[in-house]
Amino acid sequence: MRRPVLKRRLMAAAGVLAALALVWVSGFAWFVHRANLAGNAPARADGIVALTGGAGRVEMALRLLVEGRARIALLSGIGGGAELAQFAHRAGLDPAPLDGRVTLGRNATSTRGNATETAAWAREHEIRSLIVVTAGYHMPRALTELGHAMPDVALYPVPVMPPAMQGPGGVRDAATLRLLAEEYTKWLASTLGLSALGPPHEAVPGRTAHASAKS
């Protein structure tokens, strides 16, 4: 009697695992498709935030600011001693007109930290609509964390396409596919609220400063 019961239980468990795997794969296919979608910035928003950590994000945010898409911008997660002039020159822009309009956030070390840092900045500057600039594969998790931290702020995604995803299908190699799988799993955790179980990585009050356009 015991062996048939055990066999049925094993078969039921295998069926559940297979169903979960199918759901994960289907969701991952949707995620990869979404990561390759382009986005258009609205004509105007109160602010712009770039979640740093990948190519082209800061440059895109600064160009949007110069275009007049918002009055101010936050570069969240800036490390080291990097200054605004370096980023402006990299984007092919004159840093002088950006003086006083860009805040360098130096405290965030995670996406959740980006959201905490951005929420504090948004409250300080009475932001009600925000253009979000980050990589396409990172955008779903960024919007989830920002939405949790700022439920009353309208978010407008402007994804940046990393070089590794610029090609047929948006995926060139196994390393890129692995990155997407990892990011998809992290997004699922954020959606379920599990990111709150990790280290807080919260911004330290008083350490986020306006950038000076020194050359």
- Report the alpha-carbon distance of residue 94 to residue 120 in Å, rounded: 28
> Tens digit of pLDDT per residue, the chain (215 long)?
467 777 777 777 777 787 777 777 777 777 777 777 667 788 999 999 999 988 899 999 999 999 999 999 999 999 878 899 999 999 999 999 898 999 999 989 999 999 999 999 999 999 999 999 999 889 999 999 999 999 999 999 999 987 666 655 555 567 777 888 888 888 888 888 776 655 444 333 333 445 544 43
Name the helix (H) or strand (E) containing 129. Answer: strand 129-135
Q: Give the model's pLDDT for residue 112.
A: 93
3-state helix, strand, coil in the chain (%, to 5): 50, 15, 35
Q: Give the model's pLDDT for residue 63.
A: 95
Is pTM beyond 0.75 here?
Answer: yes
Q: Give the model's pLDDT for residue 69.
A: 95
In our burial notation (b when 16+ CB lie closer than 10 A, e otherwise), range 141-180 reads bbbbbbebbbeebebbbbbbbbebbeeeebbeeeebeebb
Q: Give the model's pLDDT for residue 179.
A: 81
Domains and CATH numbers, the chain: 36-210 (3.40.50.620)
Q: Check if the beta carbon of residue 89 is closer than 8 Å to that of residue 113.
A: no
Q: Give the model's pLDDT for residue 76.
A: 96
